[in-house]
Amino acid sequence: MTRVHMQETRRRAALPVPPPPPALLLLLLLPALAAALQVGSDCSRGFSKDVYNVLVPENVQEGQPLFNVKFIDCDRGVQVRFQCSKPADFRVEMDGVVHALHSFNPTTALPSPVVITAQDETTKERWQTEVRLTPPKGRSAQLPGASAPDGPLEIVFPRRHADSGSALSRVKRDWVIPPINVPENARGPFPQLLVTIRSDHDKHRSLRYSVTGPGADQPPTGIFFINPVSGELSVSQPLDREHIPNFHLRAHAVDLNGNQVENPIDIVINVIDMNDNRPEFVHQMWNGTVPEGSKPGTSVMTVTAIDKDDPKTQNGQLRYKILSQTPENPNPSMFTINNKTGNIITMAAGLDREKVPQYTLIIQATDMEGTQLYGLSNTATAVIRVTDINDNPPEFTSDMFYGEVPENRVNVIVANLTVTDKDQPNTPAWNAVYKITGGDPTGRFSVPTDPMTNEGLVTVVKPIDYEISRTFVLTVVAANEVPLDQNIHRSRQSTATVSIKVIDVNESPYFDPNPKNIRLEEGMVTDSMLTTFTAQDPDRFMQQSIRYSKLYDPAGWLRIDPGNGRVTTMAVLDRESPYVSNNMYNATFLATDNGSPPASGTGTLQIFLLDINDNAPYVFPSEAEVCEKPEPNGINITAVDPDLSPNAGPFAFDLPDRQPDVTRNWTITRLSGDVAQLSLRIGFLESGVYEIPIVITDSGNLPMFNTSYLRVKVCQCDHNGDCTDRQHIVAAGLGTGAIIAILLCIIVLLILVLLFVVWMKRRDKERQAKQLLIDPEDDVRDNILKYDEEGGGEEDQDYDLSQLQQPDTMEPEAIKPVGIRRLDERPLHPEPQYPVRSAAPHPGDIGDFIHEGLKAADNDPTAPPYDSLLVFDYEGSGSTAGSLSSINSSSSGGDQDYDYLNDWGPRFRKLADMYGGNDE
């Protein structure tokens, strides 16, 4: 048999916990344990014992756990609620642990007996047990076999059943070691002995003890350790239930050789909760709303606090309370709170947003089921905003409003209706909605709401005629977007009267009817009276006259009398005019009154023109082609008449009788009312272009006829009936306009060519003029005069023309001595070498030779712009010409008159000044 001795720990709320005294009574658990281990269908719910005998230690402290009661629920998993007959002295936790609520000395005063009641919350079934407390002197209450009160708690390995086949025997499955309860946050000293592990085999041989599991050799390691020789299990540091609520260890016993001598036993160490955590609200600031006028009992919001302590004990059981309310009017207790759930509800009536829009509550949460003496507390703030309801109707600031509007104006604001509303602005309970309930049977006004100012804008939505209504008196009712609260009655000031005056304005005259339709036959002569098109002035109370004028008359056929509006014709009405569409001719007229300012209106006159037979038919198309032989085809022609039926088709087609050559060669056959066929009568007709007159007569009353000329090209055809003489066809197809255009193009081209030739001639002359330094008009030198065959001297008959062509080839300037150069020769300087002119053959005529030389000189880029070297042949002696020596034969001392040089031109005036008779 296993003996279990447990030493109870002491606990004190919010105070240091002293070490457990050695005289602590053992909890009577064996009978409860035996009851809990019963197996079978006869399990009955209830306390494990009817009477508990408990030895109370000396000097019981406040909050110290004293004993534990065990309730058996037959594995139903239903929680029961414990109650104590002496609630002022003891407190029973949900796990059955009984704590002292105050300090007392059992030797002097001991509240006994104590009745513990358990009640099923579901079925309301109740059970009771009695606890008898014994003072410390009563040692006989200890269990048999337990160690002395001053000794430590001892756990002995369970005995094994004899088994001849093995050294170890199986332990009973129903053997349970009671858990060890260790209070959290113990102050020591540490290490603190918890229990002693012992085996019966230690009497015969030496053993070694060890523990394994979390807290020993597994994380968190080092919390628990055991003396391997004595088996004393100790804790090395304070425990925190909020971190680890319990530990599961296994104790082992081995000999010195390491052989297991006992089966491991499980040890459960429960960390007993202490009230070491204050409640913490989920939010420090809570916001809620409640409609104004709410009845008592209306839920507002729920606040929640959390306590890290064990919720199964009173350490984690919270209670809520309202500490203060701001403001306190109209009632200091407008709200209450459910102390268990934290639900805030209204407690009194009279919530009025217009008076108190917001309340601030200070909420307190306290553990230990709200016991203020030893419970821990914390506070939070709850702000409750009173929301608006429509409990105030809109009220007009005045009973009467006034406005005025010009007639015929729409979308004009006539008056602004102002209201006041005590509800919260810009909410459906404040936004005003206006409705006209009287004075506007035709719906000419509306009252929309200005979203910014909440004013009613009386607006004209339909034109108003001053001549019909001069004033309006409207009845307007103001309401809100949401209905008024049913407990509130509508105010008298929610209805107002609006007086509106209509202002007369000069309105435009109007034609009636507009447009005006008349039917007339075309062809009416000028100055024919068509109709009277007049307008009316809507201003009946104004004495005004109307003048008429023509605004739009596309064909210029009509005129209107400015005074009386009579419409007459200015030209013949023609239905076939391009200004007539679908037999309808439209004209627009203007009517203007003499008001201030003048007003005008327009009217349209629509004239439907009836057709008369005033157009003769004509042939279409006007050109065609046919083969020389009548086979295989003819020419289909169509008659066209601008008139309408019956003044148009069917048409009659004939060839004129007065032209026998036409009737001899051609014949015409009517195919339908509008189509006829022209074909050759003879077997062959020579190719060419023929103009065939065709007489077409319409079917009108007093029919009209017309002779149309069809231009027919007779040509040679292939076997398909197509003309093969395309060149003639194209020539025949050219009209007069095409021929004139071609001729104009030819003339323009010729003019351009002539202008180009003249420009080239002029350019050649300018180029030749640039070769001379002296203007031909100012040149006073002797010009070359061509005479008839004068000839040279007697010895000047045979001459070499090659010397005139290229004199430089005979005597280059580069080798001519300086002393023999003439003064009028071109100065010597290096010049670029150009190709030498080719020597042309000797022409037969000297004139041709000179012209060839002149052309070569003009085209020579090396020709200088000054007088070049003149080379003359020697005439020889015996010439019939006189001697030139007379030039130097004048007397050297004789005076000569050189004034005649002034008459030779500007180039000789310098010589005249130098050699003139002036001595200077």
Per-residue pLDDT tens for 798-851?
555 555 554 444 444 444 444 444 444 445 444 444 444 445 455 556 777 787
Per-residue pLDDT tens for 660-676?
777 777 878 787 777 88
Lowest model confidence (mean pLDDT) among 385-399, 431-445, 759-773: 759-773
More confident residue, 874 or 739: 739
DSSP string, 330-394: S-TTSEEE-TTT-EEEE-SS---TTT--EEEEEEEEESGGG-TTT--EEEEEEEEEEE--S-S--
Strand order in the sheet with 285-291: 285-291, 377-387, 358-366, 319-326
Please say if the pLDDT value at position 142 is more than 50.
no
More confident residue, 23 or 327: 327
Per-residue pLDDT tens for 672-700?
777 887 777 777 777 788 888 888 887 77
At 380 the pLDDT is 97
Per-residue pLDDT tens for 430-483?
999 999 999 999 999 999 999 999 999 999 999 988 888 889 999 999 999 988
Region of 426 please: left (phi>0), alpha (psi -120 to 50) or beta.
left
Per-residue pLDDT tens for 144-203?
333 333 445 677 777 554 443 334 444 443 345 778 889 999 888 999 999 999 888 888
Two structure tokens written together for 268: 């459960």
Lowest model confidence (mean pLDDT) among 417-431, 500-514, 792-806: 792-806
Where in 580-622 does DSSP place strands (E)?
584-593, 600-610, 618-620
Please say if the pLDDT value at position 888 is more than 50.
no
At 880 the pLDDT is 54
Choose the most confident range, by mean pLDDT, from 33-47, 607-621, 836-850. Answer: 607-621
At 504 the pLDDT is 82
At 817 the pLDDT is 45
Are 689 and 712 in contact, with CB atoms under 8 Å apart?
A: yes
Are 270 and 180 in contact, with CB atoms under 8 Å apart?
A: yes
Q: CA–CA separation, 562 vs 564, rounded Å?
A: 6
Average pLDDT over residues 348-365: 93
Q: Which residues contact 129 (CB under 8 A, 6 or more apart)?
A: 47, 49, 50, 51, 52, 69, 115, 116
Please say if the pLDDT value at position 13 is more than 70.
no
Are 861 and 834 in contact, with CB atoms under 8 Å apart?
A: yes
The residue assigned the tokens 């003499």 is: 594
Taking Cα atoms as reference points, which of 697, 699, 703, 700 lies closest to residue 676? 697
Helix H or strand E segment including 731: helix 726-733
pTM over 0.85: no
Average pLDDT over residues 646-660: 78
Q: Which amino acid is at 291?
A: P
Average pLDDT over residues 506-518: 86
Lowest model confidence (mean pLDDT) among 4-8, 728-732, 904-908: 4-8
Strand order in the sheet with 623-627: 623-627, 705-715, 688-697, 652-654
Kindly state the DSSP code that residue 771 receives in the 8-state scheme.
Answer: T
Please say if the pLDDT value at position 334 is more than 70.
yes
Choose the most confident range, by mean pLDDT, from 46-55, 521-530, 901-910. Answer: 521-530
Reported confidence tier of residue 635, pLDDT bands at 50, 70, 90: confident
Reported confidence tier of residue 264, pLDDT bands at 50, 70, 90: very high
Please say if the pLDDT value at position 491 is more than 80.
no
At 171 the pLDDT is 42
At 890 the pLDDT is 44
What integer best gives the mean pLDDT of the chain?
Answer: 77
Please say if the pLDDT value at position 34 is more than 50.
no
